[in-house]
Amino acid sequence: MTEPPKPKPKRPRIDPWEAAGLPKPGSTLLHRYALERVIARGGMGVVYAARDKELKRPVAVKVLPRPNVTERARARFLREARLAALISHPAVVRIFDAAFVDDLTILVMELLDGQTIYQELKKRGAYAPREALRITAAMLDALAAAHAEGVIHRDVKPSNILIMNEKRRVKLIDFGLSKDLKKRGPALTGKKEALGTPSYMSPEQVLADEVDPRTDVYGMGSVLWEMLTGERAFPSDRKNVRKTFTSILKELPPPPSEKRATVPKSADAICMKALQKKPIDRYQSPREMREDCMRAMIALSRE
């Protein structure tokens, strides 16, 4: 008589949060920050909506997952906090705290209620020209404040600009790739290391050359072009990033009005100047570009 087959041993259940090296919603960090839910995920971390139990206010907590914790990643994460904290401007996300806890690296900042330009473009398409110029002017003011502190954002793109639900105020977020021109701390990037998001990188970023305020002017020009047209100036090809880079180095996108007839020539001119290949041919500062945006907005309000 054959014996019945033995039951297979049950595999222990693996907690997905533990496997990902992340704290569960419902847990509390530093006996202070009560995590409620995940609100965003990115290459450098996961962001939770949370509650500061000490100050009794809502906050956002960005966590670097344990598998991603290298000395370099941790240093870059902490550097993001330090550089963003230097900038005091209503259109720049506020940083409250940064700490290491239970092998986790966390960054605590204001909780923002809204959607990114990237999310809005997916839902509604192109912006009205006056609204696109208003958002651009607000971001240029924020970038000027960052540059005054010696900080180049280096990753200006639609997913790093948040439109608040309250009065559609604008916030610049994510200083994870920012450049410290004042060199407050050790360098974390090699001399010939290209950093940025391919579709929004300036020619000097593609070539891993030196960056300066005109690099962020270029990034803002790309965002304005996309807001006006509903399309990327330089579409990304994940299978062939070199194709995107070649376009950035050798091609200019058409004026936005060739894509949408409602775009005024003044907005065309702003975009095309900001997107020039050579930094010397662009606006030389965010404030200079902002002045043209304001003039174009005034002209539109009179029509």
Element (H, E) at 171: strand 170-172
* φ, ψ of residue 17 in degrees (nearest 5): -70, -45
The total of other beta-carbon atoms located within 10 Å of residue 175's CB is: 27
In the chain, the amino acid numbered 103 is D
Contact by Cβ (8 Å): 260, 267: no
Position of tokens 């550089």? 83
Measured distance CA(49)–CA(110) in Å, rounded: 10
Bridge partner residues of 114 (DSSP): 164
Bridge partner residues of 170 (DSSP): 163
Measured distance CA(75)–CA(90) in Å, rounded: 26
Catalytic residue among 97, 103, 155, 268: 155
* φ, ψ of residue 299 in degrees (nearest 5): -60, -40
Angle at 293 between CA 93 and CA 147, to 5 degrees: 40
DSSP 128: P
Verify whether residue 155 is a known catalytic residue.
Answer: yes
In the chain, the amino acid numbered 149 is E
Measured distance CA(22)–CA(66) in Å, rounded: 7
Contact by Cβ (8 Å): 256, 228: yes
Of the candidates 117, 239, 243, 231, which has an alpha carbon nearest to the alpha carbon of residue 170?
117
* φ, ψ of residue 37 in degrees (nearest 5): -160, 160
Rg (CA), the chain: 22
Please list the active-site residues.
Answer: 155
